[in-house]
Chain A
Amino acid sequence: METIIRTQGLTKAYGRLRALDEVSIEVQPGQIYGLVGQNGAGKTTLIRLLTGLARPTSGSIELFGHATGLNEQRHRIGALIDAPALSLDLTARQNLEALRIQRGLAGRHWVDEALDLVGLADTGKKNARAFSLGMRQRLGLAAAFLGNPELLILDEPVNGLDPTWMVTIRRELVRRTHEEGATILVSSHLLAELDLFASWYGFIHHGRLAQQISAEQLHARCERGLRIAVDDPARAVTVLEESLGIRRYTVTGNEIVLTERLDEAAAINAGLVAAGIAVSALEARSMSLEDYFTEIVKGA
């Protein structure tokens, strides 16, 4: 099967600032790829490059297995980027109808389906100007869903949505991947929300791809961490780094949490004790996605 999105060494620089630095990602068919990063990490820049809103400084993009003629391939994309793009003077139906005409989609059923999906079928003659933030967001999502695109690129899709609609949209995204074979790239800083439906993750920090990992691998890693309580954390960290070669850990008070070499608890304990450090507790523990992300960011 062709890779839906592949970037290699993708870089976007504004003067001396590298908003995106040598990012290489792969998104396979049917994946829900969660793009995770802090504000300003480069998520939206990556989305802008993928959707042709900006040009890369260097590196390459492939869409649906094609490195050239990308605009042709982009006809297969539905997108929601930043704020929803709406004509505020038009009703929800008119907004979608205009997009349907523009994209050359035959049949008005596309508009009805998209409106039903986001619960805006009964908004009648109300202009988008009078819509709440959540309604505008839903209309933006309906525009992305219009015509059942093969690839959805959604930038913070649940912004402004109430919990009920967050669940509905999440279910719709999962349904599209399972039943229609759609592929979804979704950026969010709501990690707990992404954790509920993403099947693959790309962690971006300071414009660089810190890690690309499947949801299974991520959950496996988050489930395990090694908490070590010591009397002298500073010296313990030195021992961990210099004697045991451990780099991925966090220190909180007298507690150190390791996120690597988790199956070597006995050896780590022995190494610390041998260095004269008193180990008062040593236990395996699980991590939240936020904790894991914090770890990744620290190591990046």
Chain B
Amino acid sequence: MFVNIMRADLYRFTRSRFAKTIIPSFALVIGFLCLFIQGEGVFSFGGAVGQKDGVALIDGFVGFAYADPDNPQFWELVYSASCFGIIALFAMMITMTTITTADDRSGITKLAVAAGQSQVKLFCSKLVVGLLVTGVLWFAHNGLTMGLVLVGEHQSLTGAQVRTWLGFVTVQFCVYTVVMLLGATAALLTSSRIVSLILLVVLVMAHPIAMSFGGDEPGRVFEFVTSINPVRHVYQISRYWAEPELLTQAWILVGVGIPLLLAACVARLRNRELS
């Protein structure tokens, strides 16, 4: 039964050395964020592409860059709280590929298949576990960083702002899921975790490079080709509040990307022979 496979995957994962390294890594990230809050530093991976209502529109990740430091705007606080999103992207990708490939590497998948279990179910169970783990980490990370930013800046959020922020974090996670699934698919197709990591590095670097070639009025073909890169949506999603079409594009990516990648995984798993 699928639920048994998932329970076993969770059992193994929670006792694995990898799971135990997540906690100190998580603490380290939060610690770094605290250093930025205490200091006067600005974290930036990407930059502003314009502004609306006095708030910069960010392409990438920027933290602690307030137009008026004494009166931070809501979206500036959100930027700061999510400024380690690029690090989280790598961490989540590594976590996902580690979870989805661990049993293939240890031979446990072989044992399960020999006992009549479906490769597709085994893989899907790992995807669900990966999403659960990264989801918990993502929301915990964002909750903590937002809390710390608010405390650091002596600010608070209204109920409506909390809902907006939660919506933002959820949309971001959905876009990240496409990237994680892409990494898991690459690892599945190539039997290599390194390939998925290299792919992510390439995609991360490809977006700013492509944008520098695009100019102010990029053509439709250029737009289409660059929009296939899910990392582009990761970069631009933080300004969807000012450019609603970016949210539509993100949902199209999620709605098309996830089924396509899942179909690719299933096709591969149905033909995969284990040696």
Contacts and interface: CB of A to CB of B under 8 A. Distances in A.
A52 B111 contact: no
A275 interface: no
Contacts of A254: none
Contacts of A89: 15-18
Contact of B113 (A52, A86, A97): A52
Interface of B is mostly: helix
A225 interface: no
B157 interface: no
B106 A85 contact: yes
Given A53-B275, A101-B7, A77 B12 contact: no
A102 B114 contact: no
Interface in A32-57: 48, 51-55
Nearest to A55: B273
Given A53-B114, A54-B273, A97 B11 contact: yes
B225 interface: no
Nearest to B111: A85
Contacts of A90: 12, 15-16
Contacts, number: 93
A293 B18 CA distance: 48
A53 B110 contact: yes
Taking residues whose C-beta sits less than 8 angstroms from the other chain, chain A's interface range is 35 or more
Interface stretch (A67-75, A172-180, A236-244, A265-273): A67-75
Interface string B7-24: 110011001111000000
Given A53-B274, A53-B275, A89-B16, A102 B112 contact: yes
A79 B115 contact: yes
B108 A85 contact: yes
B255 interface: no
A242 to B, nearest CB: 46
Interface in B78-115: 102, 106-108, 110-115
B116 A81 contact: no
Contact of A78 (B1, B110, B115, B275): B115
Nearest to A44: B275
Interface in B175-196: none
Nearest to A104: B4
Contacts of A85: 106-108, 110-111
B261 interface: no
Nearest to A102: B8
B116 A71 contact: yes
Contact of B107 (A73, A83, A101): A83
Contacts of A82: 107, 110
B115 to A, nearest CB: 6
A157 interface: no
B11 A98 contact: yes
Contacts of B113: 51-53
A28 interface: no
A88 B12 CA distance: 10
Contacts of B116: 52, 70-77
A82 B274 CA distance: 12
Interface in B114-150: 114-118
A84 interface: yes
A99 interface: yes
Interface of A: 48, 51-55, 70-79, 81-90, 94, 97-99, 101-104, 143, 153
Given A53-B275, A86-B106, 7 more contacts: A48-B273, A74-B114, A76-B116, A79-B115, A86-B107, A89-B15, A89-B16
19 contacts: A51-B114, A52-B116, A54-B275, A55-B273, A71-B117, A73-B116, A81-B107, A85-B106, A86-B108, A87-B12, A87-B16, A87-B106, A90-B15, A98-B12, A99-B111, A101-B8, A101-B11, A102-B5, A102-B112
